[in-house]
Amino acid sequence: MQKMFALKLGTLVFGALNLALYAAAATAPALSQALPQSTAIPVRFVHSLDAKKAKVADTVTAETMQVITLPGGEKIAKGAMIVGHVVAAQAFHFDPTPYAHQQPSLISIHFDKLQKGEAVIPVNLSVRAIASTIDSQEAASPHYLDETDRVGTVKLIGGTEFTPFDKMIQSGDGDAIGYNRKNGVFARLASSGYSGPGASFHCEATDTEQSVAIFSPDACGVYGFEGDYLSDNGHDGSGTFTLAVRGHSVKLYAGSTALLQVNETK
């Protein structure tokens, strides 16, 4: 009799626990299967890519640099993986023909999905800004003017500056253009433009706050790559961006960063 009572009690407790877990799962924010248009995703490239060695279909991975807050309270955690592949790779080859037009070296990349654990979400992304490893490292920590400067100044990629103790990030005329919070740097993206040897494009402003990490709200284009340029940033809906350079082969080193943005669904 006691064994039967204990068995029934255990069944009731187990059932109640299951109901509690189900209720908690039902009320917790779930990640949508489609990210909102214009969502910014700051990422750091995990592996180096060299146009001399890269092959079509090679895997490309980058990880999110900070928490990304979505409408409705949904969140993408820091360290989520953005996974893609090489679409094209061309090493530099010098053409000795007199007055020959030298063809640029290039690497074209398409990001396919965002992955966190077992969750996989298809994405279509463009590159709003891309920065070299050195520029990315410098923007990730404060710089000290002298030995009396105990706080230092953070200079984001694109030029915006603030001290680590600043909660509000201000423009030169005192307007609030972003906020430094526990989970990273957030801002409404500002309108800006990029013009390079191969292409030019416009970076649109956003009405919603975005995760920017080490990027200025108006960051747009290429930073810190000597002679490299974006001949395509994927904003046409293709989701494929191309980094190109003349005179040598493209190298995209691990630790380089990019501010990606969700393309308009067509």
Fill in the amino acid letter for 235: H
pLDDT at 31: 54
Kindly write down the DSSP assignment for every residue of 147-183, as one continuous string: TT-SS-BEE-BTS-EE-TT-SEEE-TTS-EEEEEETT
Report the C-alpha gap between 252 and 98 in whole angstroms. 31
- Supply 66's token pair: 């900070």
Q: Which regions of the chain are under pLDDT 50?
A: 1-30
pLDDT at 100: 86
**pLDDT tens, position by position, 110-150:** 999 999 888 899 999 999 999 999 999 999 988 887 666 77
Q: What is the radius of gyration, based on Cα positions, of the chain?
A: 23
pLDDT at 133: 97
Helix (H) or strand (E) segment spanning residue 258:
strand 257-262
Report the C-alpha gap between 133 and 170 in whole angstroms. 26
Question: Helix, strand, coil % (nearest 5) of the chain?
Answer: 15, 40, 45
pLDDT at 15: 46
3-state secondary structure (DSSP) of residue 20: helix
The residue ranges of DSSP E strands in 124-256, in sequence order, are: 125-131, 154-155, 161-162, 168-170, 176-181, 184-188, 192-195, 200-203, 209-211, 221-223, 229-232, 240-245, 251-252
3-state secondary structure (DSSP) of residue 216: coil
3-state secondary structure (DSSP) of residue 15: helix
Fill in the amino acid letter for 69: T
